[in-house]
Structure 1
Amino acid sequence: MDSVFEAYLGPDGALALTAEPDDIPKTNADVWILGKRYNSINELELIRRDIRSRLWCTYRRGFVPLGESQLTTDKGWGCMLRCGQMLLGQALIDLHLGRDWFWTPETRDPTYLKIVNRFEDSRKSYFSIHQIALMGESEDKRVGEWFGPNTIAQVLKKLVGYDDWCSIVVHVALDNTIATDDIDKTCGTGSVWKPLLLLIQLRLGLSDINPIYIPALKKCFQLVGSLGMIGGKPNQALYFIGYVEDEVIFLDPHYTQRSGSVGTKTSQNEIELDETYHQKYAQRIQFNQMDPSIALCFFCKTRFSYEVLLNELKNEVLNSGNQPLFEITKTRSMPWISPTTSYSSQTTSNRRRTKSEDFEEVQNEENNKGDDSDEDFEIIC
């Protein structure tokens, strides 16, 4: 039972004993969880049931040795990898079970178990820590190095192609631009459509998020098809799944649990392992505490849902502030870079990435100037 017990420990290993968890404030303000609206005074248990039904992926220990260094735990380096697992896990749940599906400790749905099995810490699992870490080498990340939002996005984009049952395609929008022609080429047009996991990479400041963007971020959580955001706060990667008032709600991967297989969930050990994939209580931080490097995440099961999403992004998200989060265009234009302009000369606090260089290379340059970036998510834990 040690894995279940550890799930209730804080990241520092301290046992939190409170009469009432401070997970969701009791307020008349709307609580948004992945496109669903709740009232916490009347629907607190429904909110908690929704949160607990999300796949919660955390550090694990005792798995099959990984990489040349033969690592048997991802504690200290795998938090963004685990956030990527949570994101993809939610996409698979939406695709194969539906957004209104809920988990209970008694759940033995074969489709659900098929999804969980894909994220177990095994070399044969499609989206295990092993597969993600090893695929990261194609993005110049050695096994045991932490990822930023763009690295995990690019790795997931490659890995989904190996799983026919998954049937999802990943499109990563860079340069603050969604080019619809690129998505058409990826997902198809007309009656032929491959379910789309859309990730929009953004940098909304240097060391802090510019508050001008917060209203638009809130709108993103409200949209049908929202899969939240992957990002974090300085030195920690987190999976953001909703918000209430001026606080963003997240699932935290920084809990070390034992590795194992849920299998068919017939033995007591498998039942206990399954519970470690579900967090009872989410946590909250202020929007302005988020690291400015984030990826907005959306899932479109059908062509129609994709068209609805584009319409809502144009009319509700991009028009929600003086400075739009990104652009939506038909074709991607070639970036123009002045021969006399360098990244180091762009130092305004509200700068967003506008060049075509790799997302994380920009952050590395800023890191040399002492600013926080998504490359610093996991330094010590």
Structure 2
Amino acid sequence: MLPAGYDILTPRRLKMNNVDLGNQYKKIIQFFWDPEPKNDDSEQPIWCLGCEYRQAETPCPAQSSGEPADITNRDLASTSTSTTTTSTTTDTTEKRTSTDGPPTPGSAISSFVNLASPISSSMAESSTPAWPPQFLDDFESKLWITYRSQFPPIPKTPKTGSGDSSISLGVRLRSQLIDTQGFTSDTGWGCMIRSGQALLANTLLFIRLGRDWRRGSKLQEESELVSLFADHPRAPFSIHRFVHHGATACGKCPGEWFGPSAASQCIQALVKSNPQVGLRVYITSDGSDIYEKQFKEVACDESGGIQPTLILLGVRLGIDRVTPVYWDSLKALLRFPQSVGIAGGRPSSSHYFIATQGDSFFYLDPHQTRPCLTPRAESTGDEESHPYSPEELSTYHTRRLRRLHIREMDPSMLIGFLVRDEDDWEDLKRQVREGSARGRIIHVFDRDPTIKETEREGAEEEVESFDEI
């Protein structure tokens, strides 16, 4: 704990007080405020969207690094075989005393520098179990979609500037003082949209590039996929398209936070409007119950074969937190080979959860604002010609792990599965059937009992004739 008179130095508070931090100071502040998780449950396997990873054979020295700024300078071609160490932090910090009253921001930062030195030195001499490098490669290869800025304005509605409680005060003030012509950033309100985009983007990535794809290969295909989510009205799955459908069909105005239901409806509608992506979307109207008849009506083509279909299940697994009876079932869902992750799952914000270890979930955090990428012309076929540069593509990836205990998750979430064909569908049903009955989240039934079947023509006459016999 800090002594009386000392305040907690968060990156946001430093920015509010106009304190300019160099890269070294930023890393030191992040070291304390937002430390990277360490592999302190290394006996437990890690499951990342159906793939299992075990503890690395040898420990790696602990070292501190913030959000990896060296990704753009790294040789992308070596990503899949590189062994990367991850930072950790100690469980204790040295106490400080002060008799001079509250410090200025500058002196407080200096104190943090002095404090960090002995801890960093002691950490350099220690070691911690390494994160499996194959898991880090897998994690880094997932598309990470975050807040963006400087994109073409999203028009506001009268509701945006009103006192509607569904729009935060900060968003209303920003719309009145800064984004007067429309929203040019989704910071503060677009996290559920970004999490939904990430779930959809990685679904398409699996279809186009395969589950085993890793960074550094197929840059042209990756660029063209990312371009589908560019922050521009003409991109098929841009935030502009999400907001427009949310306003016209879901009652969500620009600047209003989406929930899992609105996100799933937007995904379904936008995918249906873009059949060229080769995907279908099945969403349930009854929580986590999947009805085979209705699913196949969406998934099957004219010949009766199942085409790649994204199943989206909007669930609520408790009141304020995930009820413990669901813990094991929720963790098991990310072991399914068909899993494409979970969007939502944190109070008043949304993340994209893609892996689990023990009782913790690893996630991609959309709450970082980056300059937008606009759509680019498709490649001409030249190997060196891509819609986006490797540096631009690097903003859609991170090797920086973030972890959350299941007890801290919000119970409202959007769960996704990709079913590619009939074999995938049968395997998904088997996975659900063989799971623990206690706290089971997903159920598969033959048909929706609330939908009345259309009677065959002439059936009523046949019954009357039978009664007369």
TM-score normalised by the shorter chain: which range applies? 0.7 to 0.9
CA contact (8 A) 1:67 1:134 kept: no
Aligned residues: 322
Distance 1:268 1:93 in 2: 16
Larger Rg: 2
Partner of 1:373: none
Distance 2:234 2:387 in 1: 23
Residue 266 of structure 2 is aligned to residue 187 of structure 1: no
Distance 2:40 2:338 in 1: 25
Shift of residue 212 of structure 1? 0.5
Partner of 1:90: 202
SS in 2 for 1:80: helix
**Is the strand fraction higher in 1 or 2?**
1
CA 1:50–1:25 in 2, change beyond 3 Å: closer, same or farther? Answer: farther
Runs of 4+ aligned residues of structure 1 deviating over 6 Å after TM superposition are: 9-14
Distance 1:152 1:244 in 2: 27
- 1:223 maps to a residue whose letter is F
Aligned counterpart for 1:210 among listed residues 312, 319, 323: 323
CA 1:49–1:24 in 2, change beyond 3 Å: closer, same or farther? Answer: farther
Distance 1:278 1:248 in 2: 18
Distance 2:420 2:136 in 1: 25
CA 1:226–1:67 in 2, change beyond 3 Å: closer, same or farther? Answer: same
Shift of residue 179 of structure 1? 0.7
Superposition pairs of residues 1-381 of structure 1, within 5 angstroms = 15-17=26-28, 18=31, 21-22=36-37, 24-25=39-40, 27-42=42-57, 44-68=132-156, 70-104=182-216, 107-137=217-247, 138-175=249-286, 176-188=288-300, 192-261=305-374, 263=376, 270-316=389-435, 320-334=436-450
Shift of residue 268 of structure 1? 12
Distance 1:52 1:296 in 2: 21
Shift of residue 114 of structure 1? 1.4
TM-score by structure 1 length?
Answer: 0.79
1:63-94 alpha-carbon deviations (Å, 9 max, x no partner) = 01112351100001100000011101111011
Q: What CA RMSD, in Å, does the superposition of the two structures yield over aligned residues?
A: 2.5
Shift of residue 192 of structure 1? 2.4
1:316-347 alpha-carbon deviations (Å, 9 max, x no partner) = 2xxx2523213221111229xxxxxxxxxxxx
| Larger relative contact order, structure 1 or 2 (CA cutoff 8 Å, min sep 6) | 1
- 2:447 maps to a residue whose letter is T
Distance 2:385 2:396 in 1: 16
TM-score by structure 2 length?
Answer: 0.64
Is 269-278 or 281-290 further displaced after alignment? 269-278
Unaligned stretches of 5+ residues in structure 2: 1-9, 16-20, 58-130, 157-180, 452-469
Distance 2:269 2:374 in 1: 24
Shift of residue 194 of structure 1? 2.0
CA contact (8 A) 1:228 1:297 kept: yes
Partner of 2:163: none
Distance 2:388 2:277 in 1: 27
SS in 2 for 1:240: strand
- 1:74 maps to a residue whose letter is D
